[in-house]
Amino acid sequence: MAIDEALQRPVTLKFLPSTLVTDAGFREQFAESMRRLNALKHPALAAFFTIDTETDRPFIVREYITGKPLRAFTNGEPMFYGEFLDLAIQLADLLQSAHVEEVALVNISPGNIIVDDDQKVRIVDACLPWDSNPEETSEAVIDAARYRAPEQLTRGPIEVGSDLFSLGAVFFEMLTGEEAFDGETFGEVTTAVSSIPISFESPVARRIPHEGKLLLERMTACDVSDRLSALSLLASLQEMREQHTRQVTGVAQAEERSPGSPRRLLILSIIALILIIIWFIVTFNAR
């Protein structure tokens, strides 16, 4: 965190890898992507205040966001399904807004998604370039690769469909507390991401509802043309939430109607007490 002295507000500074901004064409493309993304003004997107790619240490200045990164928020445990759907819809809505403008968020991972105290999500550091070296063995690079689409890892053209793959890997982790793609080295992770379908073999992954599994499979398809669009993702999640709400409401109503439900027992107890009082009154008056 840093302080913007002119406006006396907290901000975040992010320095970019200098090797990625030596090309004038890249600098122009990057600045244009940032301008278009910042123009969205979406509530789930952290705003950028300044972009400087002309200095020896290129940097951006963005809004400082309070809250917990998604990974710390889940703490390695699966989310409740309803809670997952609420957060997932917010993220899908941002994706849809960005993709309408043909802007890929590029940098989607649990560490770049902040959850605040009001259960609102914010994506930070979107569109920032990812400087990876296949020979790199640092834990940070290997971990980041788990949330990159196959075309990103092979340095192919980045498309908006790449965001769907990344978000699918994040969704899997939200639902299971487990990483979607295993591997201890950069090469192992790249192989898993590029050629191994997402697996639901673990005990916690088996509990994901059927419609959730189908959605994750389409989001993480190796071929970008096989992935669903952000608009379809948003519509599917909204339908899943409506279905989940109906199921929860139906269960609650059934419990209320069941003979052993706490509410029904309370009502019967009150009726019984009233009848006992009436009996005492009638008996006392008869004497």
Sequence ranges of the domains in the chain = 2-245
Query: Which token pair is 166?
Result: 């990344």
pLDDT tens column, 240-256: 999 988 887 765 555 55
Q: How far apart are CA 211 and CA 81, in angstroms?
A: 12
- Within 8 A by CB and 6+ apart from 105, the residues are 37, 94, 95, 98, 123, 126, 127, 163, 166
Asked if residue 222 has pLDDT above 70, the reply is yes
pLDDT tens column, 167-186: 999 999 999 999 999 888 88
Which residues on neighbouring strands pair with residue 164, listed in sequence order? none
Asked if 81 and 244 count as a contact pair (C-beta separation under 8 A), the reply is: yes
pLDDT band at 53, cuts 50/70/90?
low
pLDDT tens column, 131-156: 555 455 678 788 888 999 998 888 76
**DSSP secondary structure letters along 165-210:** HHHHHHHHHHHHSS-SS--SSHHHHHHHHHHS-----SHHHHTS-H
CATH number of 2-245: 1.10.510.10
Asked if 110 and 123 count as a contact pair (C-beta separation under 8 A), the reply is: no
pLDDT tens column, 106-129: 889 998 899 988 889 998 877 766
- pLDDT attached to residue 252: 53
Query: Which token pair is 58?
Result: 């290129």
Asked if residue 22 has pLDDT above 70, the reply is no
Instruction: Indicate the helix (H) or strand (E) that contains 88.
Output: helix 81-100
